[in-house]
Amino acid sequence: MPAYGIDHLHLRSADPEAAAGYFARLFGAEETGRSHPGGRLRIMLRLGGLALYVEEVPEGTAGPPPWPHRGVEHLGLSVDDLDAALAELRAKGAEVISGPDSPRPGVRIAFLAAPDSTRIELVERKPTV
């Protein structure tokens, strides 16, 4: 079987500048490039080792269905200290839509609202005794 690995996550946005700015401002994502495939702006970012592409959609493109829906549900980001991360993100204007919660021992999570109805899950994992 061939070896598989993550290459990138590709988001579509009505306002790629604002969406890319969100990831840069809140999570420290670094812009690595820009291109214009098909005449549409694509901003490439690096976020915690993940290549994140934010690409402009044509005018009139339908938005995502309301949550919950089928398909990619959210982007999960790991954090060492969920409480500290949430405090910092709230200070930067992040909208926390649920949590913090502990779905099982050693795991704490919270969800944030991001541009274009994207949901971001923050996950803190600690060893259980």
CATH number of 74-129: 3.10.180.10
Please give the pLDDT value at position 66. 84
> Could you give the CA distance from residue 127 to residue 129 in angstroms, rounded to a whole number?
7
CATH class of 1-58: alpha beta
Please give the pLDDT value at position 41. 97
Query: Per the structure block, which two tokens stand in for 37?
Result: 């495939």
- pLDDT averaged over 10-residue windows placed end to end, the chain, 129 residues: 88 95 97 96 96 93 84 90 96 96 95 93 91
Please give the pLDDT value at position 63. 84
Please give the pLDDT value at position 57. 93
- Starting at the earlier edge strand, list the strands of the sheet with 95-104: 75-78, 119-125, 107-113, 95-104
Please give the pLDDT value at position 96. 97
Give Cα 50 to chain centroid, integer Å: 10
Please give the pLDDT value at position 65. 84
What's the pTM value of the predicted model, to 2 decimals?
A: 0.89
- The CATH 3.10.180.10 portion of the chain extends over 1-58, 74-129
